[in-house]
Structure 1
């Protein structure tokens, strides 16, 4: 009787166990069948395409930024993306040199194509080449992941499920329409495809057939790849004839808390405040009359810039100040030679992403707009730090450090 009762209790507990106790793969397969498939079918995806996409696919739990069933989202301790780490680390000469040297070589071998792209889209060749080099090493980078494994995992488990669900459905559409084979759907760990590293929605919206063969091929065609990059930038507002920005010196009398795309001034007005181009050259006349923005990706710990709206178009490619800066600087080097920034990247405290998120939450409690407590020190966080430092009798550096992290705990 005692054994019978024990068995009964165990059975009842098993029946009452939450769904999260079931193997994640089983939950994933049920999600595919009951949740994703009905929407895919409604969007015109055939059963054959759907089944081929997910044949043998299971969730990849090694991918970052996942929330397992039954768990709550939390800020990762470490930062997985280099473009959101210490700013100076992103500009290693080895990486910059490879992009600029490779860009110059390819500028010569693709001169006719690049001239046609500049004429049609108005995007300088250096910018297009720098993105190509940064994203995929000019097409040499291997894509180690199955795109449907990545997008499926993230649509099921990621912190941004809705975004990845949209990308997953767009990937299915690509295969359904015959725009790419199932086999060719290889991606980065974030689900980006081909030489320009487009997410599926970007491919559907921006990929261009520029070599005239009747299909947009961002995997094997250099003209299609380069034109697709330019088309993407134009879609997000690239202003023909304007630069991306200029390295400048910012006097101590100008607070670093003036940074941001919502605090623009005519570049001539910035110059009147004492902000000047490195090297002493005046700003070009057409730029001086137009709007510019202060950008200090490491606060007072690194180089400073006056950037144009085109800088923020580059950020549409990757939502990171240092990424956009890398592309702009790389484009300049491709066009004019390997000159480094005049300003140096100072030493910054080695903070975890979770430390910065805790600091951001502390600033939010004090009424500061940090742009969200995500552990990423964007311009809203940087200028909030500068304002807080100034109000508390500290030197305004506009960059996270251990002192302000401790003060916010």
Structure 2
């Protein structure tokens, strides 16, 4: 839905006309400068109109508001992200794919250091190993979001990149399908990532992330390698955090050798020791639901997974499914609490209140990231409460700015 309350009352036909002018006056010169032909440009936008049903739209000339709701699952209750069906489906099909594509996975790991199980975790999450239908018109999505969304400059750049993808012959412009966010192919790359990371995994001279499983595997590995995957290190470990270790120690800017976390009393929840080579490496406390859910010591590779998708829960899902595929691991041992039901607008209001008190929450965007979680914990500790490090509805009135 559009962010501005009165936006839908405007004349849609007039806005559509402005969109066509924007395509010709703004997009075409930029695309032409990048080597896109007029033929490709015309084909890309043949019959394309604005999609008024996409999320996070804002009419040109109006101000965006924090949405009350958010369509993406990771902004809801964490437990829903790890539903029985999602976990079991990604694991069972992933094991089939591990056997079917063993050679391609081994080759990708040898070339990049990225484990096959991690590649499978991403592939499964992004497109169900290529089985999920991707139905949106990429140029409709990217054109709409480039013209009138809360992140218009970003999507405008991706629209130009999509035109370059079509010009380069990856896929015909009128056949280019995407997610509602503009992501392409089985790895669900944004167009700029197709240009930079799409790889030829089957040796046919093409990088086909739409139809080739081997190319999809090689491309995901190439992406993670480029973003700094550390060969030989894991992504992280579920742990038990003693009550005297504050949840406010969470975050990638508060890392320390895993041996030091161990010395503070943090233990793997399985009872097994941390691998010796991991004990000497840096680790970070992660508590995505604060004291209301599982806790983890994660490695720098966890944050490489977040470069693929900025959600903590996404990176956890990928690592966890990979472990289930490769090692037969079961569910996280700690349960997710009944949290995550607040509106984004409520959390944004709390964030503004914390900012007024001098806390760095990472921006009042309504998303409870690690900076918001630990700011809540620090506020709780400063007011004599037990730190839980997660937003709760009863905090709203106290934190309202």
Q: Same fold (TM over 0.5)?
A: yes
**Separation in 2 of the partners of 1:169 and 1:21?**
24
Partner residue, 2:322: 331
Specify which of 158, 167, 173 is matched with residue 167 of structure 1.
Answer: 158
**Secondary structure at 1:306 match in 2:** strand
Partner residue, 2:130: 139
Partner residue, 1:93: 84
Specify which of 26, 44, 59 is matched with residue 50 of structure 2.
Answer: 59
1:223 and 2:214 aligned: yes
Partner residue, 2:347: 356
State the 4+ residue runs in structure 1 displaced beyond 4 angstroms.
19-22
Question: What 5-or-longer segments of structure 1 have no aligned partner?
Answer: 1-18
Question: What 5-or-longer segments of structure 2 have no aligned partner?
Answer: 1-9
TM norm structure 2: 0.95
Specify which of 257, 276, 290 is matched with residue 281 of structure 2.
Answer: 290
- Kindly report which structure 2 residues correspond to 1:7-406, keeping only aligned pairs within 5 A, or say none: 23-348=14-339, 350-406=341-397
Task: Give the direction of change, closer, same or farther, for the CA distance of 1:320–1:21 in structure 2 (3 Å limit).
Answer: closer
Larger radius of gyration: 1
Residues 125-183 of structure 1 deviation map (CA, whole Å, 9 limit, x = unaligned) = 11001111110011011111000000000000011111111110000011112222113
CA contact (8 A) 1:41 1:47 kept: yes
Q: CA RMSD in A?
A: 1.2
**Separation in 2 of the partners of 1:231 and 1:184?**
25
**Secondary structure at 1:305 match in 2:** strand
Which stretch of the first structure deviates more once superposed, 277-286 or 234-243? Answer: 277-286
Residues 172-223 of structure 1 deviation map (CA, whole Å, 9 limit, x = unaligned) = 0111122221133100000000100001001000000110111100001000
Residue 288 of structure 1: CA displacement? 0.2
**Secondary structure at 2:27 match in 1:** helix
May I ask how many residue pairs the two structures share in their alignment?
391
Residue 279 of structure 1: CA displacement? 2.0
Residue 43 of structure 1: CA displacement? 1.8
**Secondary structure at 2:174 match in 1:** coil
Which stretch of the first structure deviates more once superposed, 383-392 or 80-89? Answer: 80-89
**Separation in 1 of the partners of 2:49 and 2:66?**
25
